[in-house]
Structure 1
Amino acid sequence: MMKTFYFFWLFILSLFSVNSVADDITEFDYPFLLGNWYWFSNQQDGIESEGEKYRAMHVMFKSDYQFAMRLLRTDGKVEQWTGDYDIDDTNITFISSNEDDQMHTYLLNYNRFVLDGAHFTKLAPENLAGNWRTKTISGQDVADNIAEFALSLRPDFLFSAEISNQAGKTKEHRGVYYLEDDQIVLLYEEGQHDSHFVLNGQNTLTLSNKHFGMEAILNRE
């Protein structure tokens, strides 16, 4: 019975399994960098840099080594540019047309990015964070053996996932998650899994894996 339950736990986690686009994400050397990062000045007059004062900054990093950056000045004007970036374990270099390359030191974890001493916070897509529980599961007889699947995605990029079988046995994983576009990757002690996700309004989350022909529809609790 336990072997059967473990087998179906692997199947449900295969909702977060390999596909061609997500391979690029899971093989990316700095996956925690991916996403949208925000910095806000804690001073009413903003922070001065090169003769200008700034109130906020947003930078987006992609796995194809492209970035987009927007800076809000205290006078309300927005500076923005795009380009490529190069990164190692200590420095990140922004490369943009008609601009000198800019190298900065950084620190990084799954939800914090420190760039030359400025602390950035990562934000998840609107309505993704929350507690989700299966409405339906389909694909390869999984629905006949799985009683319930629950997924908790926290706004600080921590997650927990729990599956229950018809006999009441449960299996749980906890870890961190990261994402890009419609790909989400769950990273935990024993491994990692990824899937496509779609948010249908505020209260329905669909996870799918074309390789296994599986789909789970979850409702917000």
Structure 2
Amino acid sequence: MMRNMKWYVAVFCLVCSGTVLSSTLFSSSNKNDLTQFDFPFLLGDWYLVNADPEDSSQDFTSIHLTLSSSYTFAVQIEKRDSSVEYWEGGYAANQDTLTLGVKSVTPQVYSYVSTHNRLMLNGVTFFKALSRSLVGYWQSQSLSGSELDEVGVTQIQLVLQPDFLFFIRSSDDRGHEVVHNGVYYTENDHLVLLYEQGEHDTRFHINSDQLTLNFENGAMVAVLNRVQ
């Protein structure tokens, strides 16, 4: 495993030694709707931590890989001497292959397997990280929106777990409840809830212990308080 990590750092250095690409070279099919992105489980901040940082043959303590829906990537490697190396560029993907540095001198091709919170590149596993401010149990304080009367929702409870699983319960004024659970992913101010029957791309804003979710461009806006 340690040999794999050493090899992996060397490959990242090769990837990023080529020409740096501008983020304007690539764009997702619809920037306003993250659900249109073809490979949602690639998106996010991925980390690999050296399990044995005292091993002098390993010249890094951690690797941080960011993959964006604009088909750009960034790699940050923290070295044993506390220095940091950083590169960025463009990537391409299909169902099982990820190419980093597609316009660089030495593009690198990886086989990959991804879940909602793990990304395995050529047998090396990265773990997805999330800002702790979004994690928690949230309960609606107020609901509004252009389609609120049609939706009929009067209360929402939402649980966002640090492992990118969620649970949401909505109820109407008659006490009827609808429950969904599934996985979620984020990018910038997008929060996408993905479950068996569908998905919702919401915009979110956090102010201290209050979370505002905007569903479908204002069809419903939910202000939720964190439950301690």
1:16 alignment partner in structure 2: none
Which of 85, 90, 96 aligns to 1:84? It is 90
State the structure with bigger RCO (CA 8 A, min sep 6), 1 or 2. Answer: 1
1:36 alignment partner in structure 2: 45
CA apart distance, 1:213: 4.5
Paired residues of 2:42 and 2:67 also in contact (CA < 8 A): yes
The residue type paired with residue 185 of structure 2 is Y
Paired residues of 2:132 and 2:162 also in contact (CA < 8 A): no
The residue type paired with residue 148 of structure 2 is V
Could you tell me which runs of 5 or more consecutive residues in structure 1 were left unpaired when the two chains were aligned.
Answer: 1-19
CA apart distance, 1:44: 2.7
CA apart distance, 1:181: 0.8
Which of 190, 194, 200 aligns to 1:187? It is 194
1:217 alignment partner in structure 2: 223
Give the 3-state SS of the residue equivalent to 2:31 in structure 1: helix
State how far apart, in whole Å, the 2-side matches of 1:80 and 1:90 are: 26
State how far apart, in whole Å, the 1-side matches of 2:216 and 2:54 are: 51
| Alpha-carbon RMSD | 2.2
CA apart distance, 1:169: 1.5
Alignment partner of 1:21 is 2:31: yes
Give the 3-state SS of the residue equivalent to 1:120 in structure 2: strand
Alignment partner of 1:158 is 2:175: no
* 1:15-72 residue CA offsets vs partner (Å, 9 max, x unmatched): xxxxx6342x212111011111111011133585xxx611100011111110011011
2:5 alignment partner in structure 1: none
Trace 1:4-153 onto structure 2 (pairs within 5 A).
Answer: 21-23=31-33, 25-45=34-54, 53-95=59-101, 99-140=105-146, 142=148, 145-153=152-160
Paired residues of 1:81 and 1:96 also in contact (CA < 8 A): no
State how far apart, in whole Å, the 1-side matches of 2:63 and 2:97 are: 19
CA apart distance, 1:104: 1.9
CA apart distance, 1:166: 1.6
Seen in structure 2, the aligned counterparts of structure 1 residues 114 and 71 have a Cα distance that, compared at 3 Å, is same
Give the 3-state SS of the residue equivalent to 1:103 in structure 2: strand
The residue type paired with residue 31 of structure 1 is P
Which of 154, 170, 182 aligns to 1:175? It is 182
State how far apart, in whole Å, the 2-side matches of 1:177 and 1:47 are: 38
The residue type paired with residue 114 of structure 1 is M
Give the 3-state SS of the residue equivalent to 1:21 in structure 2: coil
CA apart distance, 1:110: 0.7
Of Structure 1 and Structure 2, which has the larger fraction of its residues in strand? Answer: 1
CA apart distance, 1:212: 4.0
State how far apart, in whole Å, the 2-side matches of 1:150 and 1:47 are: 49
How many residue pairs get matched? 197
CA apart distance, 1:189: 0.7
Could you tell me which runs of 5 or more consecutive residues in structure 2 were left unpaired when the two chains were aligned.
Answer: 1-29
State how far apart, in whole Å, the 1-side matches of 2:172 and 2:80 are: 56
Mean alpha-carbon deviation: is it higher for 137-146 or for 63-72? 137-146
Paired residues of 1:149 and 1:162 also in contact (CA < 8 A): yes
